[in-house]
């Protein structure tokens, strides 16, 4: 192999995500389900709520009994009883009757509305005056109005957030079937790279990619397994790669951005039994020198060594693969429109991702592209998002409207 | 006390956040620092990078030696040596000399630029032709260009994301001083509320708020400690509240939306030694019946019982307090502009938060308000964000431009 790439378009690469399998399914307690991806459809074991439920403090009534009621001409109703919280009323309402009820209480048989306590007066022990008419169905939630028994309330592939957690609780799910978090082995390469525990000697740098990529794997719902640093020597990478493949679902190798090291990474990948190099270069910037191989059904990635490049490639390319492997319905990042603060040049024939700061301006934002070489870390710290410039575009003008994909 | 509120404005309530203390500081390993809040300024122990570093494969040169070089009139340079990765070059460049170098390699003394290998040809063992002129500083990162030694690179209060993790690694932080996650005790109330492990009998419902609020606490960087369900009886709440205050930094009591139960919650709060009720009702919808007391310097919240109300109050009111307690620089949610799909009515004198779905439309979004009683869970599952309607506004018209605060 030579150092030349046979670059693939981004969309071609992304389409490969579905050719890799999703992880297995495991059961986790509801309290541990947050941010996990639901692996099966969930339906409720009960109607939610299981009864007509007051949403105001006041009196359960038959709405028709209050029609025409006003301050001048209140309706008089007989108090048939008081509803206790969590208790099924032992009585029912006949015409002209009301029952004292609190928010969350169960309406007695015969009642079809709740009149707010503020719109009533107690005349005596047995009687109230009602000053407003109330339509049937008012101030209550009917049985099954939120969800009816047996109905699918959440579908497989749904990321579990706070609201989903609430729904799972309401429907009695004490444990939840979710996809396992993909285990991602992370290897840095380069004779010049030393671990964070060491003070770099002249010409050395600390390993940053292991830490940024681990964090991004975690954020994407995976489990990061840092495996250390491989030197540039022949055969240095192979043992770590074999270890990664033995235990992990996905492998990330970063570094080796030089032609020689790219070849070393490629050679190590090709040397594995049954390996197939799917991608050797992507028409994106930063991130062109990205490699993807399939080994034993698992994706093995060769990422650029430059920190910012590796982060952009992870965000734009690797993350969608991880989400797919986690069974997630592909979830785009939120995007915000913004006004571009200055011209950006772009080369045709590749899709550019420009790191951008967002500065509030009125109700919207100004997008300030962050200049910076992709070997620098600090542009990523200040980046709120990425602007995507399509391959057939030569650049974007200052003041033009752009869409910024938000970074977490 | 009566059931009537003496409502406070939202901004008055939010201003109280800073009257509560931040949590203590703890050290965590770098690998566990993601999503935590930095508790001290961090500066780098070294220049990053510590040397002039090539960002391309090619030859280190003195830029002046290439001025005027072209395909027709290449510059001829003598190869003075090859730079090994991670090695300090043992030679320096004199005029008319070049050194083979790979991406990430250290420039030898005398070199001030890198010419890409694609713009050169090897004439013989000792000579290259250079076809492009290269300006000094090109294709390299200079010593300290990312960060210089001793400079503060991250300030206290910064949330640690992937990029910050990389910066901490680069500057040698093996452990990081962060604010402790606030421990949040969570109590549900109501005789009608049963745990998720039970099948509700008629007139009962499962406890949802414990689960939604626990998830939201986790998402906000806190640690949720669910303490169970208190009945509506006199004295039912007090033991759980005492337990919560003994161990937690913040207490959330949900439910008790009925006048009677609100009074019970308030009574329990007021019965605690040294308690001070700061807020008794907020001019927001949903969420009016929200109570905040200070007990022993800790915030104790009484939240509405309705699931969606409790979630909105958490998002809009409690979360900013938790972030402040975690030492976080107040971080707003991202906001996106959208076109409103229909009229929304709003009452004057209160700030409304309308649950909204976002539907992509061209480069932007349509905001579809989700109708729904606040006792229903399913509107929260479908909500992508909240529209805020200020208290002096009677409503918003269909097709008007609104700002939607994104929910996670």
Residue A242 has pLDDT above 90, yes or no: yes
Q: Are strands B53-54 and B140-141 parallel, antiparallel or unpaired?
A: antiparallel
- Chain A residues lying within 8 Å of B164, measured CB to CB: 381
The answer to whether A305 contacts B51, with C-beta atoms less than 8 Å apart, is: no
Provide the token pair at B115: 């010419």
Tell me the torsion sign for CA atoms A263, A268, A269, A272: positive
Check whether residue B152 and residue B239 sit in a common domain: no
Cβ pairs A/B, distance under 8 A? 290
Check whether residue A206 and residue A296 sit in a common domain: yes
pLDDT at residue A256, rounded to an integer: 60
Give B63's strand partners: none
Residue A215 domain boundaries: 10-24+180-325
Q: Among A3, A84, A215, which would you mutate to test the B interface (most chain B Cβ atoms within 10 Å of its Cβ)? A: A215
Query: Residue A394: inside a domain, yes or no?
Result: yes
Provide the token pair at A122: 């107690």
- Chain B residues lying within 8 Å of A167, measured CB to CB: 377-378, 381
Q: What is d(CA A255, CA B281) in angstroms, rounded to the nearest whole number? A: 57
Query: Residue A3: inside a domain, yes or no?
Result: no
pLDDT at residue B156, rounded to an integer: 95
- Chain A residues lying within 8 Å of B207, measured CB to CB: 169
Where does residue A21 fall: left (phi above 0), alpha (psi -120 to 50 degrees), or beta otherwise? beta
Check whether residue A60 and residue A162 sit in a common domain: no
CATH code of residue A211 = 3.40.980.10
Taking alpha carbons only, the member of B198, B260, B202, B199 closest to residue A87 is: B202
pLDDT at residue B260, rounded to an integer: 64
- Cβ-defined contacts of A355-359 (< 8 Å, 24+): A355/A308, A355/A312, A355/A379, A355/A380, A355/A382, A355/A383, A355/A386, A356/A383, A356/A384, A356/A385, A356/A386, A356/A387, A356/A404, A357/A382, A357/A383, A357/A384, A358/A384, A358/A385, A358/A404
Closest alpha carbon within chain B to A190: B85
Query: Residue A29: inside a domain, yes or no?
Result: no
Check whether residue B186 and residue B290 sit in a common domain: yes
Q: Which of A325, A345, A363 is the last residue of a domain?
A: A325
A14 band by pLDDT with thresholds 50, 70 and 90: very high
Distances (CA, A) of B213 to A159, A295, B86, B351: 17, 43, 51, 22
Q: What is the mean pLDDT of residues A242-263?
A: 84
Those residues with Cβ within 8 angstroms of residue A134's Cβ, 6 or more apart along the chain or in another chain: A61, A63, A66, A113, A114, A115, A119
| Nearest CB partner across the interface for B46, out of A191, A199, A374 | A199
Structural domains counted in chain B: 4
- Chain A residues lying within 8 Å of B36, measured CB to CB: none
Q: Which of B133, B162, B179 is the last residue of a domain?
A: B179
Contact A317, A374 (CB under 8 A): no
Q: Among A38, A81, A86, which would you mutate to test the B interface (most chain B Cβ atoms within 10 Å of its Cβ)? A: A86
- Chain A residues lying within 8 Å of B226, measured CB to CB: 31
- Chain B residues lying within 8 Å of A373, measured CB to CB: 55, 141
The answer to whether B380 contacts A166, with C-beta atoms less than 8 Å apart, is: yes
The answer to whether B205 contacts A49, with C-beta atoms less than 8 Å apart, is: yes
Q: What is the mean pLDDT of residues A383-393?
A: 93
pLDDT at residue A386, rounded to an integer: 96
Those residues with Cβ within 8 angstroms of residue A165's Cβ, 6 or more apart along the chain or in another chain: A30, A33, A34, B211, B212, B214, B215
**DSSP states of B20-88 as a string?**
SPPPPEEEEEGGG-TT-BB-S-EE-SS-BSSS-EESSSEEEE-GGGGTT--SSSPEEEEEEEEPPTT--
Query: Residue B3: inside a domain, yes or no?
Result: no
Strand, coil or helix: A262: helix
CATH code of residue B367 = 2.40.340.10
Taking alpha carbons only, the member of A196, A191, A219 closest to residue A206 is: A196
pLDDT at residue A66, rounded to an integer: 97
Check whether residue A321 and residue A198 sit in a common domain: yes
Q: What is d(CA A9, CA A12) in angstroms, rounded to the nearest whole number? A: 5
Instruction: Give the ranges where A271-332 is alpha helix by DSSP (H).
Output: 307-313, 319-325
A299-316: pLDDT as tens digits = 999 999 999 999 999 999
| Nearest CB partner across the interface for A259, out of B57, B89, B104 | B57
Query: Residue B351: inside a domain, yes or no?
Result: yes
Residue A3 has pLDDT above 60, yes or no: no
Closest alpha carbon within chain A to B50: A202
CATH code of residue B44 = 3.90.105.10
Check whether residue A171 and residue A187 sit in a common domain: no
Length of chain B: 408
The answer to whether A104 contacts B164, with C-beta atoms less than 8 Å apart, is: no
Query: Residue A173: inside a domain, yes or no?
Result: yes
Check whether residue A165 and residue A287 sit in a common domain: no
Q: What is d(CA B114, CA B198) in angstroms, rounded to the nearest whole number? A: 70
Q: What is the mean pLDDT of residues A66-90?
A: 95
A2 band by pLDDT with thresholds 50, 70 and 90: very low
- Is the bond preceding B172 in cis, omega lying within 30 degrees of 0? no
Taking alpha carbons only, the member of B313, B358, B356, B335 closest to residue B406 is: B335
Contact B295, B304 (CB under 8 A): no
Q: Among A120, A137, A166, A302, which would you mutate to test the B interface (most chain B Cβ atoms within 10 Å of its Cβ)? A: A166
| Nearest CB partner across the interface for B199, out of A46, A147, A335 | A46
| Nearest CB partner across the interface for A197, out of B51, B174, B207 | B174
Closest alpha carbon within chain A to B204: A86
* Phi–psi pair at B297, nearest 5 degrees: 80, 0
The answer to whether A190 contacts B104, with C-beta atoms less than 8 Å apart, is: yes
A159-203: pLDDT as tens digits = 999 999 999 999 999 999 999 999 999 999 999 999 999 999 999
Provide the token pair at A220: 């994407």
Question: How many Å separate Cα B49 from the centre of its chain?
Answer: 28
Q: What is d(CA B235, CA B240) in angstroms, rounded to the nearest whole number? A: 10
- Chain B residues lying within 8 Å of A232, measured CB to CB: 85
Mean pLDDT for chain A?
A: 93
Count of helices and strands (H, E) across chain B: 8, 28
| Nearest CB partner across the interface for B141, out of A46, A166, A375 | A375
Q: What is d(CA B213, CA B287) in angstroms, rounded to the nearest whole number? A: 14
Q: What is d(CA B242, CA B235) in angstroms, rounded to the nearest whole number? A: 11
Q: Among A50, A108, A111, A163, which would you mutate to test the B interface (most chain B Cβ atoms within 10 Å of its Cβ)? A: A163
pLDDT at residue A371, rounded to an integer: 76
pLDDT at residue A311, rounded to an integer: 96
Query: Residue B385: inside a domain, yes or no?
Result: yes
Q: Which of A296, A325, A354 is the last residue of a domain?
A: A325
Check whether residue B169 and residue B206 sit in a common domain: no
Q: What is d(CA A355, CA A384) in angstroms, rounded to the nearest whole number? A: 8
Q: What is d(CA B408, CA B384) in angstroms, rounded to the nearest whole number? A: 8
| Nearest CB partner across the interface for A164, out of B192, B218, B381 | B381
Check whether residue B157 and residue B214 sit in a common domain: no
Q: What is d(CA B294, CA B272) in angstroms, rounded to the nearest whole number? A: 10
| Nearest CB partner across the interface for A305, out of B84, B104, B117 | B104
Q: What is d(CA B118, CA B134) in angstroms, rounded to the nearest whole number? A: 13
Check whether residue A88 and residue A196 sit in a common domain: no
Check whether residue A39 and residue A155 sit in a common domain: yes
Check whether residue A241 and residue A298 sit in a common domain: yes
CATH code of residue A61 = 2.170.190.11
Q: Which helix (H) or strand (E) holds B378?
A: helix B378-382
Task: Tell me the mean pLDDT per 10 residues along chain B, length 408.
Answer: 72 96 97 96 94 94 96 96 94 97 94 96 96 96 94 94 96 96 96 95 96 97 97 92 97 77 83 94 93 96 93 96 88 87 91 94 90 80 93 92 92
B1 vs A69, higher pLDDT: A69
Query: Residue B330: inside a domain, yes or no?
Result: no
Closest alpha carbon within chain A to B360: A335
Q: What angle do CA B318, B321, B326 make, to 5 degrees?
A: 125
């Amino acid at each position: 192999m030579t150092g030349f790439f046979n670059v693939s378009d981004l969309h071609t690469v992304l389409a490969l995500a579905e050719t890799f399998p999703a992880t297995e399914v495991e059961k986790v307690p509801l309290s541990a389900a947050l941010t996990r991806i639901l692996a099966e459809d969930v339906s409720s074991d009960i109607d939610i709520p299981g009864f007509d439920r007051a949403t105001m403090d006041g009196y359960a009534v038959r709405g028709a009994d209050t029609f025409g009621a006003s301050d001048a001409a209140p309706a008089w109703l007989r108090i048939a009883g008081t509803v206790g919280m969590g208790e099924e009323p032992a009585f029912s309402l006949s015409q002209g009757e009301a029952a004292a009820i609190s928010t969350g209480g169960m309406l007695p048989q015969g009642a079809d509305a709740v009149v707010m306590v503020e719109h009533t007066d107690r005349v005596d022990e047995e009687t109230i005056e009602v000053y407003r008419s109330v339509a049937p169905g008012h101030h209550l939630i009917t049985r099954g109005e939120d969800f009816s028994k047996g109905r699918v309330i959440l579908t497989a592939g749904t990321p579990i957030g706070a609201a989903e957690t609430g729904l799972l609780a309401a429907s009695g799910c004490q444990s939840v079937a979710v996809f396992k978090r993909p285990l991602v082995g992370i290897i840095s390469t380069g004779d010049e790279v030393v671990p964070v525990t060491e003070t770099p000697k002249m010409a050395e740098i600390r390993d940053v990619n292991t830490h940024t990529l681990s964090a991004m794997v975690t954020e994407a719902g995976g489990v990061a397994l840092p495996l250390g640093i491989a030197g540039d020597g022949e055969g240095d990478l192979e043992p770590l790669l074999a270890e990664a493949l033995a235990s992990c679902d996905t492998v990330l190798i970063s570094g080796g951005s030089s032609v020689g090291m790219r070849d070393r990474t490629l050679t190590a990948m090709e040397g594995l039994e049954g390996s197939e190099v799917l991608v050797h270069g992507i028409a994106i910037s930063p991130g062109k020198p990205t490699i993807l191989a399939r080994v034993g059904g698992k994706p093995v990635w060769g990422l650029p060594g430059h920190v910012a490049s590796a982060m952009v490639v992870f965000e734009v390319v690797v993350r969608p693969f991880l989400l797919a492997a986690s069974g997630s319905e592909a979830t785009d990042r939120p995007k915000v429109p913004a006004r571009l603060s200055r011209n950006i040049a772009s080369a045709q024939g590749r899709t550019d991702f420009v790191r951008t700061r967002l500065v509030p301006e009125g109700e919207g934002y100004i997008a300030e592209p962050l200049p910076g070489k992709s070997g620098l870390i600090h542009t990523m710290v200040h980046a709120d998002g990425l602007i995507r410039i399509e391959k057939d575009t030569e650049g974007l003008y200052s003041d033009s409207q752009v869409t910024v994909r938000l970074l977490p």
